[in-house]
Amino acid sequence: MGQNNAARRLYDAFQYAFVNGNSAELAYKVLANAFKVENPELNPHFLIEIYVLLSEVEKKLKLLKKVDNVELYVKAIREIQFYIQTSNPLLSQWDGIKNQIQNRNFIFILDACANFIAQEQPEPELTEEQLQEYLEQCESLLQEVVSSDLAEDIKTFLVVRLEEICSAIRHYKIGGPERLRTVVEANIGAIILRSDAYTPEQKKGIISKIFGLLMTFGGVLDLAANTQGYLLPKAAELLKYLLPPG
Same domain, 144 and 209: yes
Segment 94-103 mean pLDDT: 87
Same domain, 116 and 145: no
Segment 45-53 mean pLDDT: 86
Same domain, 80 and 165: no
Start-to-end CA distance of the chain, whole Å, equals 45
Same domain, 143 and 235: yes
Per residue in 126-170, pLDDT (tens digit) is 888 989 999 999 999 999 999 988 889 999 999 999 999 999 998
User: 120, 149, 170: which is the final residue of a domain?
Assistant: 120
Same domain, 106 and 173: no
pLDDT of residue 138: 94
User: 55, 90, 120: which is the final residue of a domain?
Assistant: 120
Instruction: Say which residue, 214 or 57, is predicted with more confidence.
Output: 57
Residue 49's Cα: distance from chain center in Å?
9
Same domain, 67 and 140: no
Segment 58-65 mean pLDDT: 93
Strand partners, 64: none
User: Which residues form the domain of 155?
Assistant: 128-242
